[in-house]
Structure 1
Amino acid sequence: MKRLIAAAFALLVAQTALAGVKIEHWVSPSGAHVYFVESRVLPMLDIQVDFAAGSAFDPPGKSGLAALTRATLDNGAGKLDETAIAEQLADIGANLGGSADTDRAGVSLRTLSARDKRDPALDILRSVLHAPHFDAAVFEREKARTIAGLKEAMTRPDSIAGKAFWAALYPDHPYGRQATPESVSTLSRDDMAAFHARYYNATNASITLVGDLSRQEAETIAESITAGLPKGQVAAQPAPPELPKGGQIKLAHPASQAHVYIGLPAIERGNPDFFPLLVGNYTLGGGGFVSRLMKEVRDKRGYAYSVYSYFAPMRQTGPFQIGLQTKRSQAGDAIKVSREILADFLKNGPSEEELAAAKANLIGSFPLRLDSNKKILDNVATIGFFDLPLDYLDQYQAKVQAVTAEDVKQAFARRVRPENLITVTVAAD
């Protein structure tokens, strides 16, 4: 019987994913954009509240402020200190989380949908968003923890390479700013409170709800979340980044393995080139052991255990990146082969067989991206925050299928210009 129930549940989840996701959207009276997916499969509710409050909005000279604000947000709020918040969440079986990246910062809540569990969980979420304590002792603790983490990261070649790579790709843009022990050490509690007051407002918010709710309940919950926030303004975006002048940056390090990153700013969210780039990159370096980079750099020559490429679209122009690790003495050869493979792909694109294999994998694996409420939440929150079409998930497979080899060649020619490629190496001879 248990196996039958499990099989039936798996089938139901799969059918739900294949049938697409119905996204309802409205603007709350407080000014927040709200996205809702009703799902009665489980008695659960998932909520994510995102703000345009990522590291791109750190004031000059205060890199790390966005991340520190988010890290301190749920460590005491309203009438509860951080211990009380943790205990009450544990008592009702709810989970409060969230993160901050370059473009956005947010808070997420997962709770049972029964009113006796849902209501106290929502009370905690509202307190965290509306009235964080930003307790001085907690602030100093999180600040010290952040500084220690940054100092430790400065000893690791992968972290050193990553920071140098982003700084080189975006030398005159907020995307290239990096938190350092020095920048974080200058931050004050007043800085954090001011950042929260500026960016954590209703107009700057995107709210996503997925789960066991009616539309009316979703409207009520969304408005209760934003009604306690200042109305505020949408965060102003910086000017788009310019393409950097290509070149190579070599950083010394005693590690036995060299870390190599090659790339450039390439594409923003919602750009129509995304699907040709997605399909093409599967062949180039996104398809694991079937990709050209893996076959040529690892399998044929043994230069690296792993080599990959990907596009990371962001609010503004996000990067294209090739990454690998190799022996110090082989770094130059590995870079040469990787650049040759990229050049050949730019010139000739994928074969028809490679194109068909890429489409089959991307289309066939797509339902796995929607086989849980959490995954649906992640996808819909991304659609909402980045202003993608509401039928984005419904059209995903058809857009992948429609890509031609010529589409791939043209999109790569527009987005990946060899003369603008930056190569960063750490610990290479």
Structure 2
Amino acid sequence: MSRIISRIILFIFMPIIFRVILAGSVHASPMLPVERMVLSNGLIVLVSEEHSLPFVTVRLLMEAGSRSDPPGQEGLAYITARGLLFGTTRLSAREINENIDFMGASLNVSPDKDYVTAALRVLKKNLDRGFGLFIEALMRPGFPEDELKREVEATLGSIKSEEDDPGAVADKAFEKHLFAGNPYGHPVEGTSESLPRITREAVVRFYKEHYCPNKAILAVAGDITAQEVGEKIVPILETWERGKGRTETFPIFPAVDNAGPKTIRIDRPITQANIVMGNRGISRANPDFYAVAVMNYILGGGGFSSRLMQEVRGKRGLAYSVSSAFETYKYPGSFQIALQTKSASAEEAISIGLKEMERIQNKPVTEKEIEGAKKYLIGSFPMRLDTQEKVANFLTQVEYYGLGLDYPLKYPSLIASVTREDVLRVARAYLQPREYLLVIVANPEQTGPESPADR
């Protein structure tokens, strides 16, 4: 079968020789060739050669995450993904596991909100056998009903145990209310109400609708050449029949509800208050992503150097840890500040978080703050590429979000070009200290009846 092959030279910045002078130039490592192939069935294949270790990593990204769950069957994408490892039409789960263990390989599947990833790591000498198991699990899953039922029961048990984890309770409540009516609003693993409704028939139907090569990206990294991939792997992949897929609509919500702040209180007999507060955020493809990354590092993403850590922990000792983060997906995700503090200090800690959001909106950050943030973000970038597994994951992400295979070359410049004015602009655009959602999991007798959002 014919395929389109385009060779792209990708510059990878390695830690040993990576140096950044923000006012000057960015020095890169020697070039690393990456080959991109689009097969006749629509599957995108990316190959990155790295021969220092005799291992090969294969990583498949399939757009079949939890946002594709049908209403009322939340968790279906999760159970389907987990079911890929429960055996095929020819081999049992035990036989697959024994073969993987015998080769000293690893095979795993990870469901997420936008997509599912399946990953194989195997010695080069065992690649044929290992990839055979990988592709059989992917293309010919058996979905034995007894195994699916056990997985549903195990997942229900995990959900129940998380009810005793105040942090997990706060996180789930935050997403549920922030994304009400939105596919990102439910947990990837589903809920205790939806999981019992999932049947084998639903799993098979979901698999047929979503697991098709034209909705997938495969990255191969390590001790292998593009020619070997073309000879050994591509012919197998091209037997995978192109699917019709399923057209999905995603509800687009405004960044703010314009209804004022909202508080969700969840009572637990605990001494620590678990707090999550924030608002809807940005998508990964948003061009403001880089300015937002710098702004968030200064606000609460930069560990001990961040403003939130300095104010909440350093000056007042209210919490051991406090942080902020933007969760970005294919569609707009969330911004959140998360912390734990003594129940009696909850109101004060919340007020500080809101004040810091307002401060970074009202006054430009200092030169020292922005230079420190950019230096860290650029300098830590090579750590995303220092193993075969990370390279394979990186390539699938870059392709999925349409960032371009020259992204490692562009990233330092994109971060370095962020100005103090950019930080001020995105803080005003994407932080909502007057239109936020606040979730408090705490003992109401110790936190008091009101929070700033209750007034």
User: 1:307 is matched by which residue type in structure 2?
Assistant: V
Deviation at 1:395, TM superposition (A): 1.0
When residues 242 and 234 of structure 1 are mapped into structure 2, their CA distance, relative to the original with a 3 A threshold, is: same
Q: Is the 8 A contact 2:378 2:412 kept in 1?
A: yes
CA deviation vs aligned residue, 1:153-190 (integer Å, no higher than 9, x gap): 12321111111100111112111124211210111111
User: 1:355 is matched by which residue type in structure 2?
Assistant: I
**1:41 aligned counterpart, secondary structure:** coil
Question: Separation in 1 of the partners of 2:438 and 2:31?
Answer: 40
Deviation at 1:239, TM superposition (A): 2.7
CA deviation vs aligned residue, 1:353-405 (integer Å, no higher than 9, x gap): 11111111112222222111111112111112222222112111111111111
**2:71 aligned counterpart, secondary structure:** coil
Deviation at 1:36, TM superposition (A): 2.0
CA deviation vs aligned residue, 1:96-119 (integer Å, no higher than 9, x gap): 0120011001211111222xx100
Q: Is the 8 A contact 1:28 1:223 kept in 2?
A: no
The corresponding residue for 1:25 is 36
Question: Separation in 1 of the partners of 2:17 and 2:249?
Answer: 39
Q: Is the 8 A contact 1:21 1:393 kept in 2?
A: no
When residues 354 and 230 of structure 1 are mapped into structure 2, their CA distance, relative to the original with a 3 A threshold, is: same
Identity of aligned pairs, percent?
A: 33
For the pair 1:231 / 2:243, whether they are aligned, the reply is yes
CA deviation vs aligned residue, 1:276-328 (integer Å, no higher than 9, x gap): 11111111111111111000001111111000011121100011111000111
**2:434 aligned counterpart, secondary structure:** helix
**1:284 aligned counterpart, secondary structure:** helix
Deviation at 1:194, TM superposition (A): 0.8
Question: Separation in 2 of the partners of 1:222 and 1:248?
Answer: 53
**Alignment RMSD, CA only?**
1.9
Q: List runs of 5+ in structure 1 lacking aligned partners.
A: 1-10
**1:190 aligned counterpart, secondary structure:** helix
Question: Separation in 1 of the partners of 2:409 and 2:83?
Answer: 37
The corresponding residue for 2:348 is 333
For the pair 1:256 / 2:271, whether they are aligned, the reply is yes
Instruction: State how many pairs are aligned.
Output: 417
**1:310 aligned counterpart, secondary structure:** strand
TM-score between both structures, scaled by the size of structure 2: 0.87
Of 160-169 and 409-418, more deviation after overlay is shown by 409-418
How do residues 39-50 of structure 1 correspond to structure 2 at under 5 angstroms?
Answer: 39-50=50-61
Question: Separation in 2 of the partners of 1:53 and 1:399?
Answer: 30
Question: Separation in 1 of the partners of 2:395 and 2:333?
Answer: 20
The corresponding residue for 1:308 is 323
- Which of these residues, 21, 33, 49, is aligned with residue 38 of structure 1? 49
**2:193 aligned counterpart, secondary structure:** helix
For the pair 1:274 / 2:261, whether they are aligned, the reply is no
Q: List runs of 5+ in structure 2 lacking aligned partners.
A: 1-12, 19-27, 448-455
**1:262 aligned counterpart, secondary structure:** strand
Question: Separation in 2 of the partners of 1:293 and 1:286?
Answer: 9
Deviation at 1:26, TM superposition (A): 2.6
How do residues 391-402 of structure 1 correspond to structure 2 at under 5 angstroms?
Answer: 391-402=406-417
For the pair 1:293 / 2:305, whether they are aligned, the reply is no
The corresponding residue for 2:338 is 323
When residues 19 and 419 of structure 1 are mapped into structure 2, their CA distance, relative to the original with a 3 A threshold, is: farther
Q: Is the 8 A contact 1:257 1:326 kept in 2?
A: yes
